[in-house]
Amino acid sequence: MFTGIVTDVAELAVVEDHQGSLRRLTIHSAYEAAGIAIGASIACSGPCLTVTAVGARPEGGCWFTVDAAAETLARTTVGAWRAGLKLNLERALRIGDELGGHLVSGHVDGVAEIIARDDVTDEAGGAWGPTARFTIRAPASLARFLTEKGSVALDGTSLTINSVERDLFTVFLIPHTLQVTTWGGMRPGTRINIEVDQMARYAARLAEAREQGY
């Protein structure tokens, strides 16, 4: 389980295909190697992936590998990832950790697309950096789970939905988020992993069951 609060922007160093349907990814991170156990779960720009190997890097931080199976490659953006790509990382939530975003499972529901980006400079001339409003198109099957002021996880980042119109919705990112995640480099046409709010999913399922009489 995760919160959608990114704790490192890492780099995808190596992409290797194994056994036809398995892809092994080697990621360079600022995390300390000693703090990562084999089998640990790390959210990598959305998908929850399992660490299969880890080691320290001479320049600091660590490298670790994760494997992406056919289902992950088909349902997320992972299949299009290439070496050099920047990734939002989050370690799994521990009992007692602060829940700063919203509950995120790391089970991606689909792939959305950025339609527009509008940068806004504050009245002080950008003293704190620009903010940005993104317009995003969700898969049609997920549109019913999106609601104004609701939560959504996009490429592993917990964000608040500002407005919704059919399958289009907007999110507004502050300077800090643009600086400490991959969102600073996001542009129209970029495909991103989307995970809808679990509470919205459960509410929709309960309503559907009530309508069907069970």
For position 192, which CATH number holds? 2.40.30.20
- Please report, as a single letter, which amino acid is at residue 98: E
- The verdict on residue 101 lying in a domain is no
Residue 201 forms part of a structural domain: yes
Is 160 in the same domain as 193? yes
Residue after which a domain boundary falls, among 44, 63, 91: 91
Active site residues: 2, 41, 48, 50, 69, 107, 160
CA atoms of 82 and 61, how far apart (whole Å) = 21
For residue 188, what pLDDT is reported?
98
Go through 102-141 and write b for each residue having 16 or more CB atoms within 10 A of its CB, e for each that does not: bbbebebbebbebeebeeeeeeeeeeeeebbebbbebeee
User: Which of 99, 102, 10 minimizes the C-alpha distance to 49?
Assistant: 10
| Total domains, the chain | 2
Going residue by residue through the chain, which has 214 residues, state the pLDDT in tens, using 9 for 90 and above.
Answer: 899 999 999 999 999 998 778 999 999 999 999 999 999 999 999 999 999 999 999 999 999 999 999 999 999 999 999 999 999 999 998 877 777 778 899 999 999 999 999 998 766 555 567 899 999 999 999 999 999 999 999 999 999 999 999 999 999 999 999 999 999 999 999 999 999 988 777 677 666 656 776 6
- 126 and 197 belong to one structural domain: yes
**28 part of a folded domain:** yes
Give dist(CA 204, CA 198) in Å, integer: 10
Last residue of a domain, one of 91, 125, 151: 91
Range of the domain at 174: 110-208
Q: Are residues 49 and 120 in the same domain?
A: no
**Residue 107 in tokens:** 């089970």
- The answer to whether the CB of 103 falls within 8 A of the CB of 200 is no
Residue 104 is assigned to a structural domain of this protein: no
